Structures are given as C-alpha cells and as structure tokens.
Structure 1
Amino acid sequence: METLWSDFLNSEWHDWKGSGRSEDRLGQEKWQRYFLTQWQLPAPVPADEDTVAAMRSFRERLHGMSVRLAAGKTLAEEDFAYLNSILDKGAVKRRIEPESGSVRMRLLGVGENWEQVMAEVAASFAETLIRGEGARIRICENPDCRWIFYDDTRNRTKKYCDHKMCGNLMKVRRFRAKRREEGRS
C-alpha cells in the first residue's frame, strides 16, 4: 500500500537494479504534477526554489524519522515538535459525510500551496503513528533501492517495496551467488 508520506519520501529515487544512478525528483515539474494529481492536492507548479529547498529539508527529516521507526526505535520529542510545526502551516476545514450507512468527519486542506501539501504529508505520517502502525514502516532490503514503504501484510514480514521488482531481483541475485559458490566448490 502506497501512502501519501511514503510517495513523498520516495521522490528521492535510486535505481533499484543497481546502476548506482539516482535522482531527486522533488524539484521536477513533471513529478510535482504527478504527485499533486495522484493525491488530489492543489499547489502551484512548478514550485519555486525556496519551496523546493523547504520540501527537501522536510523530506530529509521525515526520512530520518522513518529510518528510526523501521529500526524499531521511537521518535523523540523534537520529532513531534517538528511535525507539529509542519502541521501548523496547513489549515483545514471539516466536512461531515455519509459513508456506507454511517457518518465520517473529513478534514479538507484550505490552502493551495506547498506548505499545505507538506502539512498533508505530515498528517498522513501522523495517522500512521496514531493508528500505532509505526512498526509497519520498512526500508526495502534491496540495498540499491532503499525505498521506504508501509508494510500492509497481515504477518508484517514484507521485505521489499515490490515483490515483483526488488523481490525477484534479490531472489535472482541470491540464486546466482549460490551457483557461483557451488561452481567454486
């Protein structure tokens, strides 16, 4: 399951196949349009340089928090203070809506800017924490990929961001290493 916060974090892309190539997509107009459309968020495109710098700083802090959670650690008070400072920049309005025979409260962002987008990303990350699912945050075990993802499996044992891409690649690498080792014996 892809989440708003993980999609934002993974805007720093690494070639999962092992070429060593990587790119920071956060400042790319094409990625910005994709991201806003994918998550139905309004903001001006392209984002200006100062905004992109602020988003990179936010991504770096959020990445650090995710790495600590993936390692089984907890967040510090300053992490929560930082997340709250980002959340403060995004005003919301409330809407009550019928949903499958019940009712739910929906929070809708008021601003149409990148600060609002970052607040929505922080809120998405916070929701994961509030649900007590910080332990489901993982880092892909493909050392070339390093994507951060939410493990939505029932037994919480997902090792790769995508079993068809990274999972198969690592399986092939293990098989070939084993064959080479057998050839030496």
Structure 2
Amino acid sequence: MERLWSDFLNSEWHDWRGSGKSGDRLGQDKWQEYFLGSWGLKATVPADEDEILHMRKFRKQLHELASRLADDSQMNTEDWALLNEYMKLGVVRRQFAGEGEGIELKLTPINDDWKQVLAEIAASFGQTLLEGGDGRIRICDNPDCRWVFYDDTRNRTKKYCDDKTCGNLMKVRRFRARKKAEHDPDEMENGSS
C-alpha cells in the first residue's frame, strides 16, 4: 500500500531490472504534478531550486530513518525531533466532518506551498509509526530496486515491493544461480563467473 511518505521517498528511482539506471524525479515538473494531484496537496509547479534542495535533504534524512527502521531499529528522541521540525513548516485547520457515527476530525492544510507538503509528509510518516507501522517499513530485497514500502501483510514478511516484478525477478535469479552451480560447481567454489 502506497503512503504519502513512501511515494515521496521513492521519487529517487532505481531500475529494478538491474540496468544500473536511476533518476531523481523530485525536480521533474511532471512528477511534481503527479505527486500533488495524487495526494490532494497544492504547491507551485515547478518547485524552485531552493525548494528542491530542501526536499532532497528531507528525502535523504527520511530515507536514512526508514532504512534504520527496516533494520529493526527504534525511533529515538532525535528522530521524533526531525519529524517535528518539518511539521512546524505547515499549518492545518481542524474541522469535524461527516454525519452521525461517521464524524471524523479532519486536518486540512492551510498553505499551498512545498513547505506545507513537507509537513504533510513528515506527519504521514509519524502517523504510520503511531499506528504500529515501524515494524512494517521495508526496503525491497531486490538490491537493484531499493523501493521503500509499507508491509501490509498480516504476518509482516513481505520482502519485495511487488511480487510480480521484483519477487519474480529474484526468484528467476536464484533459480539460474542454482542451475549454474549444479552444472559447474568448481566455478562457484573458485568465485569465477
């Protein structure tokens, strides 16, 4: 399941098939429009260079945090302080909406800028953690992919961002490695390829 924070983190793209190609989508107008539209956020497109640098800095910090959590680390005081610093950038309006039993507290962003967007991303990440999601943050086991995702499986054992793409690719790679080892066991022992 894609989340606001994971969609933001995955704006740094790596070719999951192993070509070595990668790209940073943060600076692309098309990606900015997609991202804002997908999450109901507003900001000026294109973002200016200072905004892009600020977003890249936060993405790097958040990726490091997600990586630590994926390695079974726990949030510490500094981690929460980081999220708080970014949430200070945005202002929200609180409003009860709905009818009858379906009334909810809605938090609506006030500003239409990239600082507000970063605040929403930080809040989204923190909310995931509060819901018990710190043990569900994963990085795809395909070393070429590096996609960050939320493991929504019941037993928390999802290894790949997508079983049909990365999962199948890694299964084929393991199969080929076994077949190669069966046909040429000396080559595998000597470390030759």
SS in 1 for 2:97: strand
1:7-156 correspondence runs (5 A) = 7-98=7-98, 101-156=101-156
Divergent runs of 4+, >2 A: 99-102
Letter in 2 for 1:169: L
Partner of 1:169 in structure 2? 169
Letter in 2 for 1:3: R
When structure 1 is superposed on structure 2, of 76-85 and 143-152 the one drifting more is 76-85
SS in 2 for 1:45: coil
Q: Deviations over 1:78-129 (max 9, x none)?
A: 2211110100110000121126832110101000000000000001001011
1:16 Cα shift? Answer: 0.3
When structure 1 is superposed on structure 2, of 69-78 and 109-118 the one drifting more is 69-78
Q: Distance in 1 between matches of 2:15 and 2:40?
A: 27
Letter in 1 for 2:111: G
1:75 Cα shift? Answer: 2.1
Cα gap change, 1:76/1:176 in structure 2, threshold over 3 Å: closer, same or farther?
same
Work out the number of aligned pairs and report it: 185
**Which protein is bigger by CA-based radius of gyration?**
2
Q: Deviations over 1:21-75 (max 9, x none)?
A: 1101111111101101111100000000000000000000000110111111112
When structure 1 is superposed on structure 2, of 73-82 and 167-176 the one drifting more is 73-82
SS in 2 for 1:101: helix
TM-score computed with the length of structure 1 as normaliser: 0.97
TM-score computed with the length of structure 2 as normaliser: 0.93
Gaps of 5+ in 2: 186-193
Gaps of 5+ in 1: none
Letter in 2 for 1:175: F
